[in-house]
Structure 1
């Protein structure tokens, strides 16, 4: 009898399903520069929600579901609400609606706001009191903002920086929405974060809006060339390490690895990504303890920023001037040490620049270039290719080489180099 009742009241599955990317709406609020309206806002949608709602990015059990997250643009004071027109009746254990409220609550700090009027008051109050945290590194303007009183400021913070830990807990949900396969990071002292803010004038005051950030981790850099063996020294047992306060041992030589890099959607396409990356790279070059800048599995959009700016810097400093394939490995290692790029990225930039200058009608020069690139491709994929028979290996390398050259040509044409 119970089964008959459940079947009788069982709704059609599809009508209770919705796409979670469409259900979530994200808003950024700030006081308006227009005297005729109180607030300006930007509304955006997430790119990913699978880490919250599952691989299919679907939510079950609601009609016209809207999951609302609104942020004060500077302080990121958070308003959270869930709205829907109908929720599925709990006629069986199989028809229970997904608990969207708890899923989001687990990912945001407990100080979120549920009263909309209180949130709007926070937007107004916070705008005139919120100031960035950490050490100011640089500032810049955009050409399009020259006639407006807008400047962008970049700060460096760690989890030991006052107010940063609480601030990070407010914005970390964005990595789930916009960085594929991202997860929350531990509040570890080895993390450093670059924070990018927009600063603009309203009346006789300035307000800040959060533009984006980059999280970086300090790894130990093993320097084979450095010998620090000294009698009765702690470093005899732990090479390239230095003892600091309270007995903590931290790396003397660092590989700084970019983990999360995000410009919020409503600020994208204006050059902020390049400005933030350039600031990070200059910070790396100026810090004697940092020996290498690396990146954790870059996506296509970040790789484009990285390629453009690394190549531009190396070309401006004439690093590759006079080089032709095959380039001596000692020269490559010297450049890598001086400019602190990891070997893979340096070779990628070198290959693009050599291709740009290559006379393709010179058969010998083109062969030397092709062999250098293929050698690098083979070395990078040696474990995969070592068990492949010779003819197949040659074919796979040639196919990979052609695809890479096509990609390089697109980069050269894109930036008119």
Structure 2
């Protein structure tokens, strides 16, 4: 038994955390390749290496996935200090390399020299599709303005299909439930953010992030664009690119009379916060959302103006109204604060009322112990506590949006 424990300990030395082992990089200059400060790591690797995100069979494992900053030409290599088979010939290591090969398209290189020669061709790289929007970001540390551009592309753009195959590999590492889309379906739209920069007097472009949108058919003659995936690469996060991208995409669809409204598929918490900010920024300029009208409550005029001018559906318009009304509420006026709290809580109480209606219908079908369990879930005291918790959570979220609107 002792021998088994010592064997287990020795074998445990060949386990690696795959989130630490995978080293990602966007390379602009040959010296970036060996510069550790340019490396970043995945948030997730469970889709490749299982829920525990562990690879077995190697000591000091490093999985290097380096991309040229613009065209995303890829270098893939794997290094390690020891392999389990060298010491234990009866134990097989995991197929670490095979898992990466499943998601990266063919055409990658395995040697630094080949990669550097691809890097030299970056000067020829140009963004795909049509330019929608240009903006600048001021970098306080460097005391300089940086230029960014957003393009809309589709699979008819020469070279875009292959570029997109390389770009989507990042989804596996930064979106928890990511999956690759069917690019042969022409109802997909692609929006890509690039940084425009100068290197040795030449204009170059670096990939910053992207969004995919699917155009659903709405009877009889409309479409409903639904945001599917959105990713700003880690090296650019926190600089406002997500808001710029979402704004540009909204503006693009707002010009089309065919578009009913814009929605999102299974939005993450971060996406909802971003959408709250962007939609509130848009709506604050609409006449129906003026301060005096906000204090009178949510109206059909608000829903109509948001839909007709900005392709925002009623549910999202209502949420924007609550954010802007909170901003318009005088917090020293007890009556205004009370009215606001009651109105938001009434909306939050909707699901509880629905549950109670369903419970009333179910009473005759439930056994006594099932009924007791449902009734206990509906306990008034519990409901009030839950409602207050939800309200405070919503209030915190809205205040963060209001702070961001003030900064913008």
- What TM-score do the two structures reach when normalised by structure 1? 0.82
Cα contact 1:149–1:200 (8 A) shared by 2: no
Gaps of 5+ in 1: 222-238, 241-251
Give deviations 1:139-171, integer Å, cap 9, x for gaps.
Answer: 222234998795322111123333221111111
3-state SS of the aligned residue for 1:254?
strand
Distance in 2, Cα, partners of 1:199 & 1:214: 18
Q: Would you say how many aligned residue pairs link Structure 1 and Structure 2? A: 381
- How far off its partner does 1:14 sit? 2.2
Per the alignment, residue 368 of structure 2 pairs with none
Distance in 2, Cα, partners of 1:72 & 1:83: 20
RMSD: 3.1
3-state SS of the aligned residue for 1:292?
coil
Measured at CA, do residues 136 and 324 of structure 1 come closer, stay the same or move farther in structure 2, by a change above 3 Å?
Answer: closer
Per the alignment, residue 136 of structure 2 pairs with 141
Per the alignment, residue 330 of structure 1 pairs with 300
Work out which of the residue numbers 387, 396, 407 in structure 2 matches 1:406. 396
Q: Which structure 2 residues correspond to residues 14-413 of structure 1 after superposition, within 5 A?
A: 14-31=12-29, 42-89=38-85, 95-125=91-121, 127-144=122-139, 151-187=147-183, 188-221=185-218, 239-240=219-220, 252-321=221-290, 322-324=292-294, 327-338=297-308, 339-379=310-350, 384=355, 386=357, 387=359, 388-389=377-378, 391=380, 392-413=382-403
Cα contact 2:22–2:41 (8 A) shared by 1: yes
Distance in 2, Cα, partners of 1:151 & 1:407: 30
Measured at CA, do residues 56 and 319 of structure 1 come closer, stay the same or move farther in structure 2, by a change above 3 Å?
Answer: farther
Which is helix-richer, 1 or 2? Answer: 2
3-state SS of the aligned residue for 1:26?
strand
- How far off its partner does 1:359 sit? 3.0
- How far off its partner does 1:412 sit? 2.9
Give deviations 1:218-265, integer Å, cap 9, x for gaps.
Answer: 1223xxxxxxxxxxxxxxxxx41xxxxxxxxxxx31211111111111
Cα contact 2:294–2:324 (8 A) shared by 1: no
- How far off its partner does 1:415 sit? 4.7
Cα contact 1:378–1:385 (8 A) shared by 2: no
Give deviations 1:269-314, integer Å, cap 9, x for gaps.
Answer: 2222222122112112212222211122333333332222222222
Cα contact 1:31–1:40 (8 A) shared by 2: no
Distance in 1, Cα, partners of 2:156 & 2:353: 42
Measured at CA, do residues 381 and 159 of structure 1 come closer, stay the same or move farther in structure 2, by a change above 3 Å?
Answer: farther
Give deviations 1:105-143, integer Å, cap 9, x for gaps.
Answer: 000111111122011100112x12111111221222223
Distance in 1, Cα, partners of 2:8 & 2:384: 59
3-state SS of the aligned residue for 1:98?
coil
- What TM-score do the two structures reach when normalised by structure 2? 0.83
Measured at CA, do residues 30 and 40 of structure 1 come closer, stay the same or move farther in structure 2, by a change above 3 Å?
Answer: farther
Distance in 2, Cα, partners of 1:107 & 1:161: 22
Return 46-55 or 343-352, whichever deviates more: 343-352
Cα contact 1:62–1:88 (8 A) shared by 2: yes
Distance in 2, Cα, partners of 1:395 & 1:20: 41
- How far off its partner does 1:316 sit? 3.5
